[in-house]
Amino acid sequence: MTARTDASSRAVLDKAARENFPVAPFFLPAAWRNDLMAVYGCARLVDDAGDGDLPPGRGDAALLGVPGDAADDRLVLLDAIERDLLRAFDGAGGAGGTEGAGSTDGGPRHPLVRALRPTVLRHRLDPGPFLALIEANRQDQRTTRYATWDDLLAYCDLSANPVGRLVLAITGTTSPERLRRSDEICTALQIAEHLQDVAEDLARGRIYLPAEDMERFGVTEADLARPTGSRAVRDLVRFEADRARALLDAGAPLVGSVRGRLRLLLAGFVAGGRAALAALEDADHDPLPGPPRASRARLVREAAAALRGPRR
């Protein structure tokens, strides 16, 4: 790996520290940390390509074999990432593997995708969750508004839930009930992030507040473009935050279904969502001046509460 590609990959991985949840905390076994960071690196690469947030210089496009005249085309980049990811699964033998879709050049081209291949082999991962993340980003290019809550949940099933499913696969704890609860937690985390980032998403031309709810509360797109939220905007955000909180509470028993350091990790996921929602509440549910962020102290308190068990 050259210094340039190493810097590009590091810029992607460094974003882990700014997530609402711990990506690969220090208390996990080193093998788990490495595998989770490999998954995060690819997931972040996909999101950055879909959001137009790849590091400047078009280095990622060149690594993926995208010609210069298409280096800013997000759909072309996502297609190239998909092809590279399938190279990481070629011959891996996981369920739903990629026979016939393999590489003729010896493996993945992008260093973040190459770093994923040992994780794929070690855990016999399925490409499905990664393909779902790519499809979510494709959807972001053509769908910028969501009519109903169910439409938003379907998007979260592509954009968020695969991450939790990969965590369970890497830690060897997958079961039908855990998958269901993991999906509830991941969807809640995604919605909480969207509520924090209403202004930022609008600047990208996207709204993740269901249109039916905006109409119900009398909120227009012009209201979301103002420096501060009106009472109607705050009531709408509170309504969606309550929905996200209910999902978190439904998924929280996942924490108690496992033991050891994995339990701490999952408690951190739940705590990240609850702390984000608490930060919104502290801001009177007004995210328009800027994303409300939780303090580290609040995260620690919420993690301790998640470890104690369901709230009464």
136 close to 159: Cβ distance less than 8 angstroms: yes
- Section 28-50 average pLDDT: 94
pLDDT digits (tens, 9 = 90+) for 184-200: 999 999 999 999 999 99
d(CA 130, CA 19): 19
Residue 269 CB contacts under 8 Å (≥ 6 apart), including other chains:
21, 22, 164, 185, 186, 189
pLDDT digits (tens, 9 = 90+) for 200-255: 999 999 999 999 999 999 999 999 999 999 999 999 999 999 999 999 999 999 99
DSSP conformation letters of 263-291: HHHHHHHHHHHHHHHHHHHHTTT--TTS-
Half-sphere exposure (Cβ direction) of 126: Cα atoms closer than 13 Å: 14
224 close to 198: Cβ distance less than 8 angstroms: yes
Number of H helices and E strands in the chain, helices first, is: 16, 0
Q: How far is CA 288 from CA 48, 205, 226, 245, 280, in A?
A: 23, 15, 7, 20, 11
Burial class (CB in 10 A: 0-12, 13-18, 19+), 227: exposed
For the entire predicted model, the pTM comes to 0.88
Tokens of 136: 């979510």
Q: How far is CA 193 from CA 135, 275, 283, in A?
A: 19, 11, 15
pLDDT digits (tens, 9 = 90+) for 79-131: 999 999 999 998 654 444 443 333 445 699 999 999 999 999 999 999 999 99
Percent over 90 (pLDDT), the chain: 79
d(CA 287, CA 136): 24
d(CA 13, CA 3): 15
d(CA 88, CA 51): 23
